[in-house]
Amino acid sequence: MFVGVGAARVRDLFEQARQKAPAIIFIDELDALGRARGIASPIGGHDEREQTLQQLLVELDGFDSSSGLVLLAATNRPEILDPALLRAGRFDRQVLVDRPDKIGRVQILKVHIRKVKMAPEVDLEQVAALTTGFSGADLANLVNEAALAATRRKGETITLADFTAAIERIVAGLEKRNRVLNPKEREVVAYHEMGHALTALALPGVDPVHKVSIIPRGIGALGYTIQRPTEDRFLMTREELEHKIMVLLGGRAAEKLVFGQLSTGAADDLAKVTDIARDMVTRFGMVEELGYVAYEAQRPRFLEMPGLTQGGCQVGDQTQQRIDEAVRGIVMSAFDRTAAILSGNREVLERCARELLARETLDEKAIGELTGDLKPPRPAGS
């Protein structure tokens, strides 16, 4: 009895808009209405959604640009829209509302801090630097969490420490002080986190370390190291990606150097390392022995239609074996370089780990004081 209701409502919508012209028609969550035909469509029976979409396409075909109507739509899933919706004469102009850059984050923060009382020494540039990848809603939540943190400590104003605590709460989760680690586990976690931090400090061009902690947070984090990006990045070189891998491997390398055995604490680090190394080989063409070839189909990106050619190619068994060897070679080479950095700075590692065990958390200033004699890595091949 409800077949055809969606299509009828689309007809009514455009009819009402024409009667009230000039008018704006705004369709939110367009993907609910305009999902590509053939995707998850039922086998047999009647697809009501397709009929509704077809009626919308018919209305768009008869759309007169001089009738005083403006048609807008919004979606978070443009990659699943029907290609017919996006052809010329329909929704042919796409406006990407991406996550804000550093300047945008500062401006968004200025809007939200009007409702709270800020300490005069708080620099929003520093807060924006710590929130790379945050959306506008995330930043609104950040200011709210910072205000709650200031209220809990009975503060009169919000300080940078409150913003840092709010970022940790959003990114890493709630503190789990009731999750009691035995002394051996705390020691392993302390060396693991300082391995990340010292590797980041020793390598040139890596984001500076903002904070290191061995207080458990969230579901599985037994400790964490926060780095503070100095600027938003959109391109990365092979050297920068290798440095990123080395920082991720710093925890595993420290465990092996100090304890001579491995733990399960590096599982998440290893997954990220493997993804980066595989992308370097299969997507970015950064291994010359394999040629400047994309061996893996590029993942669908924003405003790309499913089914369109996305690059990549089929890979033979021998080539797949060479890809696996190249991925393993990148990771193991980075691990050896990381282990060499930590081995050359063993005294600094021991000193920082002992201090971290005593204080549980080290901020940027404390880390700087403890690592004044940190030796830089030796040049490759020396």
Catalytic (active-site) positions: 193
Strands (E), the chain: 23-27, 69-73, 209-213, 224-227, 361-363
Q: What is the DSSP letter of 73?
A: E
Residues in the chain: 382
Rounded to whole angstroms, the Cα distance separating 186 from 225 reads: 15
Surface-to-core class of residue 46, CB atoms within 10 Å of its CB (0-12 exposed, 13-18 middle, 19+ buried): exposed
The answer to whether the CB of 110 falls within 8 A of the CB of 136 is: no
Strands (E), 105-196: none
Q: How many CB atoms lie within 10 A of CB 82?
A: 23
Q: What is the DSSP letter of 236?
A: -
Rounded to whole angstroms, the Cα distance separating 293 from 313 reads: 9
The per-residue DSSP string of 340-356 comes to: HHHHHTHHHHHHHHHHH
Strands 224-227, 361-363: pairing kind: unpaired
Query: Nearest CA to 159 among 135, 207, 126?
Result: 126
Query: Nearest CA to 80 among 311, 298, 308, 297?
Result: 308
